[in-house]
Amino acid sequence: MKRVQFNSRFIPYLLLLPQFAIISIFFYWPSAQAIHSSFFIEDPFGFGSAFVGLDNYTDALTAPEYQKIARFTVAYSLIVTFLTLSLGLLLALKADAVIRGQSTYKTLLIVVYAIAPPVAGLIGMMFFDQHIGPFVHFVALFGWDMKVGINYFDTAFAMIAVAVWNQIPYNFIFFLSGLQGIPASIREAAAIDCKSGTRRFWTVILPLLTPTAFFLLVINMTYSLFDTFGVIDVIVKDKPANNPITLVYKVYLDGFRGNDLGSSSAQSVILMVIVLALTLIQFRFIERRVHYG
Amino acid sequence: MYRTKFFDHLILIAGVILMLGPLVVAFTTSTHTAAEIHSNGLMLSIGGHLEETYGKVLFRKGGFTGEVTGMTMAVNSLILGLGFAIGKIVLSMLAAYAIVYFRFRFATLAFWLIFTTLLLPLEVRIMPSYKVMSELGLLNSHVGLILPLLASATGTFFFRQFFKSVPDELLEAARIDGAGPVKFFIDVLVPLSRTMIAAVFIIMFVYGWNQYLWPMLMTTDESFYTLMRGIKQILQVWVGSQIPDYNEAFAMAVLAMLPPVVVVVIFQSWFIKGLTESDK
């Protein structure tokens, strides 16, 4: 905080008023509603509701379908997080190493940041399309009969590919700026001490990048949990059938397509708890072990 | 040394092809007719139907009401992007100013109430948010499209970090010169934050333009459709059609991604600065 501050009776409240008006109406009120209605079963036609305690939670958590979706969501976010982190880092390392054309590579590699997930999903769908998709034709040469939208595994593959593609630029930008923030003196000292570039990377560069990597880890997790909704919706098109979906998509399906407000709210609250837990882990456990140079 | 440089470039070029290839193919394919695409697959050459397809996507009246055009959707996306970015900047600069520069009783509480909103994205409270909006009668309106998206403190966080890095001496000097809170904000802080405002503007514009789930739920009236909603529309028509309108879907995708791509590429240095310097 500042050493010098203004003392004023009402100006700070006046300044905060617009923000508070918005967050109380559109954040705290709906969040409270979600928690409230997660304890009720509502008549689908809106004629009253009945208190059912934790039933919505136990129903959701014990349903085999929900567990299957939860397992997929965990696998999906781990894979997406890992791939975006490593590909983003790889490209950033290479872009940091070259001198000629560095800014051109940088410009070209960040373009996809601006692409919305549903647009990415649409383009991805064309590449994985049964009739016209070049990727499908290509893998058919190796005997993989890819059927996105029908085969569970193939659909998951397409979703992950699109989600990773869309998120690489973000990781690239942060890793590159992290790399360029490492002082030249440290790199030179390391170069004198150790000849092997690979070893220098693992023992000097990577530890110095851990704050960035850690920040990106959490960002990528939330990205794959929530922001890929558009990708999934475009690929699955409201009809999950045998297709893999994530927990957020299930909240949407049950709430808006199935009109099951209670269950949808309970699932929302479960997701809130997951996000809060992720954030807590960030602050309590991992952040202590991260090296801040 | 020479060889490693060669491999570095090779990997980077492969990366560029992987990232940009799909976009280029999306554009080139959109210039062919749907029948051509159906029989030959995706295209790398530019076909002869560029103007025809894009003209159709932009100006042909479609939808149930027969009123909505691609142009309407583009305008709605623009309103959403601009409204969201400007709203976010105004709200968050004011709030961050209060938090950083004022001593008041509930400062800590205010700080936590604002920053808790960073933890939970709109997607987890989508259903109750929808109900609140319908009770307020804001469904199918531009205001209803923008306001709920503003209820997250990302911008406030950006500006708080930035204001904290502004030297204290400036405020001391301003106070000696007799400047009050309003004057200091307008004459010192806002001009100082110009780059930061630009960066936040770009990030938020792209974010607003690219919104999908919320506009999709909010807008049942087609005159409020955004381009992202239009993409869903195109795909819904596909089910059951003989030859899907691949060309129009691609053209729609190109239109939907063009503005944010242009903004990000042109203002990349600001945007990267804003993104990487304030997020940590």
pLDDT tens per residue across span B94-124: 999 998 888 888 888 888 888 888 777 887 7
Res A75: pLDDT: 93
Res B82: pLDDT: 93
Identify the weakest region by mean pLDDT among A68-72, B151-155, B184-188.
Answer: B151-155
Handedness of CA A101, A117, A153, A131 (dihedral sign): negative
pLDDT digits (tens, 9 = 90+) for B186-230: 888 899 888 888 888 988 999 999 998 888 888 888 788 888 888
pLDDT band at B19 (very low <50, low <70, confident <90, very high): very high
pLDDT digits (tens, 9 = 90+) for A109-141: 999 999 999 999 989 888 888 778 788 888 888
Cα–Cα dist B255/B265, whole Å = 16
Least CB-CB distance to B127: which of A123, A168, A264? A264
Res A227: pLDDT: 86
Nearest CA in chain B to A28: B117
Cα–Cα dist B4/B221, whole Å = 57
Cα–Cα dist B200/A286, whole Å = 29
pLDDT band at A89 (very low <50, low <70, confident <90, very high): very high
Average pLDDT over residues A76-99: 92
Q: Which residue has the higher pLDDT, A280 or B15?
A: B15
Q: Which residue has the higher pLDDT, A23 or B233?
A: A23
Nearest CA in chain B to A270: B124
pLDDT band at B280 (very low <50, low <70, confident <90, very high): very low
Beta partners for residue B13, in sequence order: none
Res A165: pLDDT: 94
Average pLDDT over residues A66-70: 88
Res B2: pLDDT: 58
Average pLDDT over residues A71-76: 92
Domains defined for chain B, CATH in brackets: 2-278 (1.10.3720.10)
Res A57: pLDDT: 84
Least CB-CB distance to A22: which of B91, B164, B231? B91
Asked if residues A38 and A247 have their Cβ atoms less than 8 Å apart, the reply is no
Average pLDDT over residues B64-91: 86
Identify the weakest region by mean pLDDT among A9-18, A163-172, A279-288, B84-93.
Answer: A279-288
ipTM: 0.86
* Rounded percentage of chain B residues whose pLDDT exceeds 70: 93
* Rounded percentage of chain A residues whose pLDDT exceeds 70: 92
Least CB-CB distance to A173: which of B128, B181, B272? B272
pLDDT band at A293 (very low <50, low <70, confident <90, very high): very low
**Residue spans of alpha helices (H) in B105-224:** 107-116, 126-135, 142-150, 154-165, 168-176, 181-184, 190-192, 194-209, 213-218
φ/ψ of residue A50, rounded to 5: -125, 140
Res B246: pLDDT: 81
* Rounded percentage of chain A residues whose pLDDT exceeds 90: 16
Q: Which residue has the higher pLDDT, B63 or A168?
A: A168
Q: Does B105 touch chain A (CB under 8 A)?
A: no
Token duo for residue A284: 């309590």
Q: Which of A185, A189, A212 is nearest to A93 (CA)?
A: A212
The predicted model scores a pTM of: 0.88
pLDDT band at A1 (very low <50, low <70, confident <90, very high): low
Check CB contact under 8 Å for A115 and B260: yes
Residues 100-129 of A with CB under 8 A from B: 101, 105-119, 122-124, 126-127
Residues 187-246 of B with CB under 8 A from A: 206, 209-213, 216-217, 228, 231-232, 235-236, 239, 246
Q: Does A40 touch chain B (CB under 8 A)?
A: no
Res B64: pLDDT: 60
Asked if residue B66 has pLDDT above 70, the reply is no
Res B279: pLDDT: 47
Other Cβ atoms less than 10 A from the Cβ of A4: the count is 13
Asked if residue A289 has pLDDT above 60, the reply is no
Please count the CA atoms within 13 angstroms of the CA of A180 that sit on its side-chain side. Answer: 18
* Rounded percentage of chain B residues whose pLDDT exceeds 90: 15
Q: Which residue has the higher pLDDT, B245 or A20?
A: A20
Asked if residue A158 has pLDDT above 50, the reply is yes
Average pLDDT over residues B245-265: 88
Domains defined for chain A, CATH in brackets: 57-289 (1.10.3720.10)
